[in-house]
């Protein structure tokens, strides 16, 4: 399976809009949403059937067994994350604050603390003639990188598609590094602002360190053509192919509200997005 990953240095650049459009244009039989903190690809690509859902277990978290606790307070005293408190009756662990370090279990002489598997989110697998793998992390849970790996594994385990589009996580952290694993090419979607340029340089370095080839697409290029030119200069200097620039189109937001992609109806951006898609496919043919 050849995988095209769509990423951006931060959220709000139009990454998912472009990923949804590319999925539609390629009629991809396999695709995934790795933005597990805020998945929204399903809003543009409505699914017919309900998904198969599975609990995702992150790190173990501490649980205090009330009957065994002798109330010595050692666990509260040693928890560096301030996750244990006496509520007037008993000692309790705040699972949102617990980082699973296990110190409380170690200091408890009464053997009243148990490190317990914790449901940190859920994976969702849609099989509607195509395979769509996605997941959602519970608010306040870590392990987003591990969940991204699970999303990608679900895609490759259940789909025999020869080409897949993966909507990556925004930013440059652990989930993005997990998104980059095993992909054939990463398309970096950026916007023409100074912060967009700065994010582009960081995400490009992250992809390069991961050994993944990149291309760039400037979304809403016409809101600042001066910075668009600077982005092109950066790409020239670093031998990064730049796809067709995409103009600002207020219809992009409306497409999501109508559960459509931006290439499902006539709008200003459509031919530009289509051109960018054909360019990236041509680039991937050589891989």
For position 252 contacting ligand SF4 by CB under 6 A, the verdict is no
For position 63 contacting ligand SF4 by CB under 6 A, the verdict is no
Cβ(222)–Cβ(248) below 8 Å: yes
What is the spatial distance between Cα 233 and Cα 227, in angstroms, rounded to a whole number? 10
Smaller CB distance to ligand SF4: residue 108 or 197? 108
Specify the stretch interacting with ligand SF4 by CB under 6 A; choose among 81-89, 120-128, 130-138, 279-287: 81-89
Specify the stretch interacting with ligand SF4 by CB under 6 A; choose among 63-71, 146-154, 204-212, 223-231: 63-71
Nearest to 240 by CA among 279, 192, 193, 183: 279
Could you give the string, one character per residue 33-62, with x where binding to ligand SF4 holds by CB under 6 A and - elsewhere?
Answer: -----------------------------x
What is the spatial distance between Cα 107 and Cα 125, in angstroms, rounded to a whole number? 41
In whole angstroms, how close is the CB of 230 to ligand SF4 at the nearest point? 45
Q: Is the dihedral of CA 264, 243, 186, 235 positive or negative?
A: negative
Q: Which of 56, 91, 118, 132 is the binder for ligand SF4 (CB under 6 A)?
A: 91
What is the spatial distance between Cα 169 and Cα 268, in angstroms, rounded to a whole number? 27
For position 284 contacting ligand SF4 by CB under 6 A, the verdict is no
Q: Residues binding ligand SF4: what is the number (CB under 6 A)?
A: 27
Helix (H, G, I), strand (E, B) or coil at 68: coil
What is the spatial distance between Cα 220 and Cα 228, in angstroms, rounded to a whole number? 9
For position 181 contacting ligand SF4 by CB under 6 A, the verdict is no
Token code pair at residue 255: 């497409």
Smaller CB distance to ligand SF4: residue 116 or 195? 116
Helix (H, G, I), strand (E, B) or coil at 48: coil
Cβ(172)–Cβ(144) below 8 Å: no
Interface with ligand SF4 in residues 93-152 (CB under 6 A): 93, 98-104, 107-108, 110, 112-113
Rg of the chain over all Cα atoms, to the nearest angstrom: 22
In whole angstroms, how close is the CB of 88 to ligand SF4 at the nearest point? 14
Looking at residue 221, the DSSP 8-state letter turns out to be G
Specify the stretch interacting with ligand SF4 by CB under 6 A; choose among 21-29, 70-78, 166-174, 186-194: 70-78
Cβ(107)–Cβ(22) below 8 Å: no
Looking at residue 128, the DSSP 8-state letter turns out to be S
Specify the stretch interacting with ligand SF4 by CB under 6 A; choose among 12-20, 73-81, 215-223, 272-280: 73-81
Specify the stretch interacting with ligand SF4 by CB under 6 A; choose among 71-79, 153-161, 206-214, 255-263: 71-79
Residues that bind ligand SF4 (CB under 6 A): 62, 64, 69-75, 79, 81, 83-84, 91, 93, 98-104, 107-108, 110, 112-113
């Amino acid at each position: 399976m050849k995988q095209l990953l769509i990423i951006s240095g931060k959220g709000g650049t139009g990454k998912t809009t472009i990923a949804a459009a590319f999925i539609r244009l390629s009629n991809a039989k396999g695709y995934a949403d790795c933005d597990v903190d805020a998945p929204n690809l399903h809003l543009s690509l409505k699914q017919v059937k309900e998904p198969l859902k599975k609990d995702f277990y992150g790190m173990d978290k501490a649980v205090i067994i009330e009957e065994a606790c002798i109330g010595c307070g050692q666990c509260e005293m040693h928890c560096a994350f301030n996750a244990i408190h006496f509520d007037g009756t008993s000692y309790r662990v705040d699972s949102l604050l617990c980082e699973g370090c296990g110190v409380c279990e170690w200091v408890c002489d009464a053997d009243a603390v148990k490190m317990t598997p914790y449901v940190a989110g859920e994976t969702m697998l849609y099989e509607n003639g195509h395979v769509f793998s996605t997941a959602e992390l519970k608010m306040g849970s870590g392990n987003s990188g591990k969940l991204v790996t699970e999303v990608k594994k679900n895609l490759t385990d259940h789909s025999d598609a020869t080409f897949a589009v993966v909507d990556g996580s925004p930013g440059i952290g652990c989930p993005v590094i997990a998104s980059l694993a095993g992909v054939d090419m990463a398309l970096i979607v950026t916007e023409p602002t100074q912060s967009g340029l700065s994010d582009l340089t960081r995400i490009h370095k992250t992809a390069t360190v991961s050994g993944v080839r990149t291309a760039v697409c400037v979304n809403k290029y016409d809101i600042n053509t001066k910075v668009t030119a600077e982005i092109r200069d950066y790409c020239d200097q670093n031998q990064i192919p730049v796809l067709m620039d995409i103009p600002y189109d207020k219809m992009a937001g409306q497409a999501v509200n109508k559960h459509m992609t931006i290439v499902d109806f006539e709008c200003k951006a459509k031919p530009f997005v289509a051109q960018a898609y054909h360019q990236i496919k041509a680039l991937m043919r050589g891989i």
